[in-house]
Structure formats: C-alpha cells, structure tokens
Amino acid sequence: MKRIVIYAVTFNSYPELAAFLKSVDRAADFAAEEAEVEVCVADNTVEQPEKIVVENRHAVVRVFPYRENLGYMGAVQRMMGEQDPRSYDYVIISNVDLIFEEDALLQLVRLQVRQDTGGIAPSLFSTCLGFDRNPSVLHRYPVWKLRMLAVMFRFPILDYLYRLTFYRRKGMRPAVKKPLEIYAGHGSVMILTRAYFEHCGLPEYPLFLFCEEVYLAEMCREHQLKVVYWPSVRILDEEHVSIAKMHRADFYRYNYEAVRFILRRFYAF
C-alpha cells in the first residue's frame, strides 16, 4: 500500500477548494485498494476567512487555518513542519484550482519509477488554453534567458508583448504521449518522490511566490535526481484563481524577485 500526501494552499478560493477536495476524494476512492491518501490544506486567507467544511470520506483531510498570507511554498513548508512528508511515497504540492481525474492517484502509484527520480510532472491540461501545460520546461534555462525574464518582469510592457505573441505558440507544440525526462514541470502541481526528501531534505524556498518548480528542479539537479513527465497521471488546470486576484504590480515584483533568487542561488549571478 502506497502512501500519498497532498499539500494544498488556498487563498480566497473556497469554491475552487471544495471542487478540488471532491476530485481528490473521488481519486482516492478509485485508488483505495492501492493507496492511502491524506490532504493538508493551508488557508492563507486574511480578510473574511471562512470555515472549511470537509466532506471527504476516502481521503483524510487536515486544515491549517493560518489566516495570514504565507505565500505558496511558505504555507507548504509550514505544513511540512507540522505534518512531516518524509514517510510518504509521493508528496504532491498543489494549487486548489485543479481537478484530479478519477484515476490520477491510481496511475501515480502504479508508475514504474526509477530510484533516481526526484520529481514527477503529471499531465496538466489547461481548460482555458486547450493544451497540456506539461512538459513545461524541457531543458535547464541558460543564464541569458533567466536574465531576459528578469528584465521582462522589471519592465512589464515587455512581458505583455510576449504574451500577445510568442506565449500563445506554446499550444502549437505536439502533445507528448510517453514518459519523458525533463527539466521542470509546471508549478501549479508538483509531485516529489521519497528519493527527493532522502537526498534533498525538506524544501527551504524563501520567496513569497513563483519559480517554485525551478527551485525543486535545481535541487534535483544538484543531487543527481531526475524529473520525469508522466502523461498517464492526468489533472485539469482551472487557471490561477488566486493569482488572478493579485495586483499586477505585486505579480511582476514577486516574479522579478524569484528569478533573481534563482540566478543568485543556482547560477552564481
């Protein structure tokens, strides 16, 4: 029997959380003979927080009502301090604007994962864009590209022009139908193996938001672990509910700070 824990973070997104938990419970029921599933939910909502009512029957759910905005990995890391992830076979870090396919967790525990695999990127189909967000990043970013991203986030008009042109072309790439070793998956949902924690320890990401998937990919790279895209593990992306509520100035500032951190920490820039 495999053990799975999901660390999910909500911020003013209670309807999405309810749908997320319902889909996880359905997937846990589908995998009940092969997996035990636990869910830890951090509530970062500051103003007018609501009581989270848990109706799950097949997945054990624990709610952490922090009532302060700790950011994505900030909330996850605090939960990990209270609910240690190192005894689980798979650790899923997730936004709540996602829907797990019925067989997602069953497919996950049935994967033939090599011992040198630290991260798993599932199929993450965007219902808005109409294509799979994974595999998100096939190869490690060169320094010039990260520096370019930093400039784009420092001067938002450049990012706006990019999204009107080249960003849309991402959906034109052929779908990947077989497992594939990649650099990093999309940050909306990140799956770590037991090997990640054995080699890398608990995450220590100090930023409020963004580039979490790059940080985890770089930690895997430092410890000679692989990140693999597995299209059989299917999740639907309902599109950045919490981020959509963020002030644009904060969006660009957090992105800029995150890219600068990655450059300093892993590229010595």
Count CA atoms within 13 Å of residue 243 on its CB side: 16
CA distance 48 to 66: 13
pLDDT 10s digits, 86-99: 999 999 999 999 99
pLDDT 10s digits, 93-127: 999 999 999 999 999 999 999 999 999 999 999 98
> Residue 170: what pLDDT?
53
Burial (CB count within 10 angstroms: exposed 0-12, middle 13-18, buried 19+), residue 106: buried
Helices marked H in the chain — which ranges? Answer: 14-30, 72-82, 104-109, 143-154, 156-164, 194-200, 212-222, 241-244, 248-267
Single-letter amino acid, residue 77: Q
pLDDT 10s digits, 42-74: 999 999 999 999 999 999 999 999 999 999 999
**β-sheet bridge partners, residue 37:** 4
> Residue 160: what pLDDT?
66
Model confidence at 161, pLDDT cuts 50, 70, 90, reads: low
Model confidence at 162, pLDDT cuts 50, 70, 90, reads: low
> Residue 238: what pLDDT?
79
**DSSP secondary structure letters along 115-152:** TTEEEEEEEEEETTTSSB--S-BSSPPPHHHHHHHHHH
pTM beyond 0.85, yes or no? yes
Of the listed ranges 27-36, 132-141, 163-172, the least confidently predicted one is: 163-172
CA distance 163 to 184: 21
Kindly tell me the sign of the dihedral angle through the C-alpha atoms of 169, 170, 174, 175.
negative
